[in-house]
Amino acid sequence: MSELTTIARPYAKAAFDFAIEANAIESWLEMLVFAAEVANDDTIKEYLSGGASVEQAQDIFLKVCDVQLDSNGQNLIKVMAENQRLLVLPQVVAQFRELKAEHEKTLSVDVTSAVELTAGQETTLCAALEKRLARKVKLNCKIDANVVSGLVIKAGDMVIDGSVRGKLSRLATIMQS
């Protein structure tokens, strides 16, 4: 998986840089998402993996994408086809989204709680996280009865476990050492 991420990174970076210059980040994201869906199609995957020539791969892929890609998007597909990298388009989309979030100074935060948070609690939590992380925060709230009480917050690599289950687990670890 990390190999695919490494392969996808330069394509995502080039597409993102071009999108910034053209002031078309959203339209580029839409094009890439569509192309990634095409690349994820089982028939296309089989065709691309089956030893199709570069010209055939480009032709089929561009015909399927048709008007969904502008001329610049088509050029990206041609370059990726020449380098036999069309199957990494889903990773290109993931990398592009990360670059977009970094550019916009936004962060998607997963919040897990035992019960549904009220609108006021979400607002307060969002404001506190925005202050701590110095970014615009979008909360993805979900309910998990196993949390027991409190919250588990995941923001990128950072995890804040304020749940009773987490506190009991830490207490048990301390008592065992």
Q: How confident is the model at residue 1 (pLDDT cuts 50, 70, 90)?
A: low
Whole-prediction pTM = 0.69
Does the structure show a pLDDT above 80 at 54? Answer: no
Amino acid 124: pLDDT: 92
DSSP string, 11-68: HHHHHHHHHHHTT-HHHHHHHHHHHHHHHHSHHHHHHHHTT--HHHHHHHHHHHHGGG
Task: List the domains of the chain with CATH numbers.
Answer: 2-101 (1.10.520.20), 106-176 (3.40.30)
**Percent of the chain topping pLDDT 70:** 98
Range from 2-11, 20-29, 85-94 carrying the lowest mean pLDDT: 2-11
Mean pLDDT of 45-53: 74
**β-pair partners for 158:** 155
